[in-house]
């Protein structure tokens, strides 16, 4: 369920009460759809779930994958695209991005800001959306930064550059919240002589916030019980956006995504989640996951990691390029993510490195930038593989995608071509300069 928070007034918040704050069915501007039925044929289909289909076809109807296989029939009305023997993969999914936020990444004025909504900063005209698209990225999780122990709530977008803002929002994606740990919060607040400036302070600030949220929930429970018992004089507690968001963490309504480098901090976060009864979705960066992979697997926490970045800060000093595969072999769900506009343009190459460092199979490497990334975002039923019923987010590649040489030739989102390398100018059928 996608949560869209326009400018909320206190009264509106009060009106919707304690459950979900505002679930708006967005008036969806239909993207410029040129084809309602498409047959892509003569492709080497890398499905990401059930191996490769040489000389395969994909039939797309109403933006969804309607059929996949060696022999696929389509009505005569379908537009036929001959892939010319090129590779076809699911659209790439970036499970950790800060693009298109106009620099509004960190509300670094308090270590606890769970009520920040990244959608409020989303700049649908930012060219980095196009740059990712041209690299085959079709879906991105735009996260709050890591200045705060508990940052804001993410927005999930599809890279339909040239479409309207609302058409770019991934409808139905679950809500994710960003937690952080380690050096960034302690540096940001330490430099202001505030709490936290140590890892002790970091975790204490986080624990304190969760305890407050428990108190807040108890106050409301007590009030609701009074109302239920017919107490007409009961006064409602104050609505507090920040506490609401944390309460939703405790209620399990938010996917918790934690920026975390060191192994010890991952274990502490797992323990704290257990203590307060919420579940963690993924550790992001997670460069020391290989040291505690058994524990991550047991807790059911995934990782969104870099392929081979290291040494840029002290807590990245023990990073090794075998991290992704070592964690995967222990049963951890692993995604390779960008965390940068630059790497978002060539995540396929970053995934390919896992085949060399640790020997991921082709499909395992591909899953790290498709299906597993979709799982981290919580949209694995919608995107991330070439399977019937999923959104037709697809990439036709020039060259072998898991190599130095793979470059997207065409990128489809919801069955429509949003990037075509053969076109002049920027290569986008739906984009006009000055939109």
The least CB distance from residue 140 to another protein, in Å, is 16
Closest listed residue to residue 235, CA positions, set 246, 243, 227, 247: 227
- Of the pair 87, 216, the CB lying nearest another protein is at 87
Residues at the interface with another protein (CB under 8 A): 127-128, 130-131, 134-135, 183, 290-291, 308-314, 316-322, 326, 341-342, 345-346, 349, 352-353, 355-356, 398-399, 402-407, 425-427
- Of the pair 143, 293, the CB lying nearest another protein is at 293
The least CB distance from residue 16 to another protein, in Å, is 39
DSSP calls for 365-378: HHHTTTHHHHHHHT
- Of the pair 103, 425, the CB lying nearest another protein is at 425
The least CB distance from residue 18 to another protein, in Å, is 42
| Residue 303 CB coordination number (10 Å) | 31
- Of the pair 207, 356, the CB lying nearest another protein is at 356
Query: What is residue 66's DSSP assignment?
Result: E
The answer to whether the bond into 196 is cis (omega within 30° of 0) is yes
For residue 126, give every residue at least 6 positions away whose Cβ sits within 8 Å of its Cβ, in sequence order, or none: 99, 100, 101, 102
The least CB distance from residue 318 to another protein, in Å, is 6
- Of the pair 230, 434, the CB lying nearest another protein is at 434
The least CB distance from residue 93 to another protein, in Å, is 19
> By the 8 A CB rule, do 163 and 118 touch?
no
R_g of the chain computed on alpha carbons: 22
In angstroms, what CA-CA distances link 183 with 149, 316, 318, 399, 434? 10, 10, 14, 40, 41
- Of the pair 47, 354, the CB lying nearest another protein is at 354
The least CB distance from residue 421 to another protein, in Å, is 8
Signed CA dihedral, 200, 201, 206, 211: sign only: positive
Q: How far apart are CA 261 and CA 248, in angstroms?
A: 25
């Amino acid at each position: 369920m996608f949560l869209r928070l326009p400018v909320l007034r206190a009264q509106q918040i009060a009106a919707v009460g304690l459950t979900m704050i505002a679930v708006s069915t967005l008036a969806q501007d239909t993207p410029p759809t040129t084809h309602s039925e498409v047959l892509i044929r003569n492709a080497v289909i890398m499905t990401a779930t059930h191996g490769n289909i040489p000389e395969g076809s994909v039939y797309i109807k109403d933006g969804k994958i309607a059929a996949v296989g060696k022999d696929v029939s389509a009505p005569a009305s379908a537009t036929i695209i001959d892939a010319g023997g090129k590779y076809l993969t699911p659209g790439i999914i970036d499970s950790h991005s800060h693009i298109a936020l106009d620099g509004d990444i960190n509300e670094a004025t308090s270590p606890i800001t769970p009520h920040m909504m990244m959608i409020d900063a989303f700049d649908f005209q930012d060219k980095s959306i196009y740059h990712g698209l041209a690299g085959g990225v079709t879906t991105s999780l735009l996260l709050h930064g890591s200045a705060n122990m508990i940052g804001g709530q993410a927005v999930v977008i599809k890279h339909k550059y040239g479409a309207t803002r609302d058409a770019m929002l991934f409808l139905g994606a679950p809500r994710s919240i960003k937690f952080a740990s380690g050096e960034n919060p302690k540096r940001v607040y330490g430099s202001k002589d505030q709490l936290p400036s140590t890892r002790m302070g970091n975790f204490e600030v986080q624990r304190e916030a969760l305890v407050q949220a428990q108190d807040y929930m108890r106050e409301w429970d007590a009030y609701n019980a009074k109302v239920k018992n017919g107490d007409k004089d009961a006064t409602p507690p104050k609505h507090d956006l920040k506490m609401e968001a944390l309460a939703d963490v405790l209620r399990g309504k938010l996917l918790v995504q934690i920026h975390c480098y060191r192994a010890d901090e991952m274990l502490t976060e797992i323990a704290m989640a257990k203590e307060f009864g919420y579940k963690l979705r993924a550790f992001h960066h997670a460069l020391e996951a290989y040291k505690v992979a058994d524990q991550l697997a047991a807790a059911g926490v995934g990782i969104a990691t870099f392929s081979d970045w290291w040494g840029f800060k002290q807590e990245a000093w023990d990073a090794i390029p075998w991290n992704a595969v070592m964690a995967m072999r222990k049963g951890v769900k692993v995604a390779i993510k960008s965390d940068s506009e630059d790497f978002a343009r060539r995540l396929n190459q970053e995934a390919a490195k896992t085949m060399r460092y640790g020997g991921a199979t082709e499909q395992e490497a591909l899953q790290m930038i498709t299906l597993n990334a979709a799982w981290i975002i919580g949209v694995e039923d919608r995107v991330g593989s070439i399977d019937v019923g999923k959104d037709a987010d697809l990439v036709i590649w020039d060259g072998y995608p898991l190599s130095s040489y793979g470059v997207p030739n065409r990128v489809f989102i919801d069955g429509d071509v949003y990037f075509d390398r053969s076109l002049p100018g920027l290569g986008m059928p739906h984009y006009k300069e000055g939109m």
